[in-house]
Structures are given as structure tokens and as C-alpha cells.
Chain A
Amino acid sequence: ETGVTQTPRHLVMGMTNKKSLKCEQHLGHNAMYWYKQSAKKPLELMFVYNFKEQTENNSVPSRFSPECPNSSHLFLHLHTLQPEDSALYLCASSQETSAIGPASGEQFFGPGTRLTVL
């Protein structure tokens, strides 16, 4: 595997289900990101992990719970979602020079998970 991979590529779930999205980066980067992409809206940054520490939570509802067990893996745990959470969820990674301060590295994106909440 190369680059950034995401599984599953497609997910359909009911509002009472619990599921997880997985992201893995094979680039040796130290920062990882979750984005939400909805139709006709700009990409929304959800979470940032820099050197495995969460450095950004962009006012995301608690029904989304991220986990970063190591610098190569990132999860997004989902529970009691709403239909408006249906979107493409993109993972990205970058190489940052510092654990604090601005993130300026070029971000590499995975193909995304298309989530549909019924």
C-alpha cells in the first residue's frame, strides 16, 4: 500500500448503529486529519492530530469520536448519527516540523469514505 488509504470506501448505517472509519498513512508523516465533504459546501476540517496529540476539534458533535493510536493510523468512531451527517469523509496526513504552532505541511489525502446515514 502507498499513500493514504481509507476503509471502508462506502458505508451505510442506521441512526442507532455504531461504526468506525479507518485511515492509514504509509508516508511516515506525523500529522493526520479528518475532513467532512458535503455537497455544495467547502471541506470542513473536523480533527487534527499532530504528533499523536489532538490539536484541533473544530466544534464537532460528540457523536463523532476520533482516535489516533499511533502516527500511522487514525480512526473516526461514529454513533447515533443523523441523516445530515451523510457525506464523504476524507483523511489526510502531512509532515510537520513542530508539535506546536502552525501546520504548514502539504497534505496528502485518501480517497474518502462515502457515508450514508438512513
Chain B
Amino acid sequence: AQSVTQPDIHITVSEGASLELRCNYSYGATPYLFWYVQSPGQGLQLLLKYFSGDTLVQGIKGFEAEFKRSQSSFNLRKPSVHWSDAAEYFCALNDYKLSFGAGTTVTVRA
């Protein structure tokens, strides 16, 4: 069965610093992978997705993610964090249905 693990429950980062959120998956074939962001009181917004091809994927709001099959990972990165990036981030895998990780809460300090 497929599963998604986000090892970090909470990350605090300074504004302007870089951010990396980890995502590991378990799946028998090439997965469809997604990163979503949820701001307080809001639904989930898609940041980026990987279906196939180039393993470095660019998304909205300056985010990127790299698919590494050998490590079963799909980590999300941003070079310079803005205060508005404070939110909860979810990694998800799609095979017939979306399976989500438990999420990582990002706090941005001034």
C-alpha cells in the first residue's frame, strides 16, 4: 500500500533564510506526487506536482521540489522565505486516490 511520510512536524525559519521540507513515500511504481499548502482558515492550494520527466519541478510562489527515486523522496525547497510562507505544507501521492502526509507546519520569524 502507498504511504507518505513527512518527518518534520514543525519547522521554524527566519525570514530570508532557505527552507527545505522533507517528504518520503512508499509506492511500487513511479508515483504522481504533489505538494499542497494550507494557510490558516483556508483550503489546500497546489504548489507543484510531479508526474514524469524532469526530476526538478518548479512551482508557484518560488517553490521547487526534487524527485529522487533512489531515496523515495520528494523534498520541497525555497531559497528565501517570506513571512507569508508561514502555513502548513502537505506532501501527497496519487494512485487512484490522494494519500497525504501528516503535514509540516512552517513558522517564519522576523
If the complex has contacts A40-B102, A41-B102, A43-B90, are A109 and B97 also in contact, measured as CB distance less than 8 A?
A: no
Tally A-B pairs: CB < 8 A.
47
Residue numbers in B under 8 Å from A108 (CB-CB): 46
If the complex has contacts A4-B43, A109-B43, A109-B45, are A103 and B96 also in contact, measured as CB distance less than 8 A?
A: yes
| Set A48, A104, A107, A111: member contacting B42, Cβ < 8 A | A111
Chain A proximity of B29: nearest CB distance (Å): 11
Query: Complex: how many Å from CA A41 to CA B44?
Result: 15
Chain A proximity of B58: nearest CB distance (Å): 15
The answer to the question of B107 belonging to the interface, with a C-beta cut-off of 8 Å to chain A, is no
| Set B42, B43, B46: member contacting A106, Cβ < 8 A | B46
Query: Complex: how many Å from CA A42 to CA B3?
Result: 11
Q: Which residue of A lies closest to B94 (CB)?
A: A104
If the complex has contacts A40-B102, A41-B102, are A109 and B94 also in contact, measured as CB distance less than 8 A?
A: no
| Per-position 1/0 for B63-99, Cβ under 8 A of A | 0000000000000000000000000001000111111
**Main SS of chain B's interface residues?**
strand
If the complex has contacts A109-B44, A109-B45, A110-B43, are A56 and B102 also in contact, measured as CB distance less than 8 A?
A: no
Query: A102 near B102 (CB under 8 angstroms)?
Result: no
**Main SS of chain A's interface residues?**
loop
Looking at B4, B32, B101, the one whose CB has the most chain A CB atoms below 10 A away is B32
Query: A56 near B43 (CB under 8 angstroms)?
Result: no
Residue numbers in B under 8 Å from A74 (CB-CB): none
Query: Complex: how many Å from CA A92 to CA B94?
Result: 14
Show 19 residue pairs from A and B whose CB-CB distance is below 8 angstroms, ordered by the A residue: A40-B102, A42-B99, A42-B100, A43-B100, A45-B97, A48-B97, A90-B43, A90-B44, A92-B43, A101-B96, A102-B96, A104-B51, A106-B34, A106-B46, A106-B49, A109-B36, A110-B43, A111-B42, A111-B43
Measured CB to CB, the residues of B under 8 A from A are 4, 32, 34, 36, 41-46, 49, 51, 90, 94-103
**What are the 3 closest A-B residue pairs judged by CB atoms, nearest first?**
A109-B43, A109-B44, A43-B100
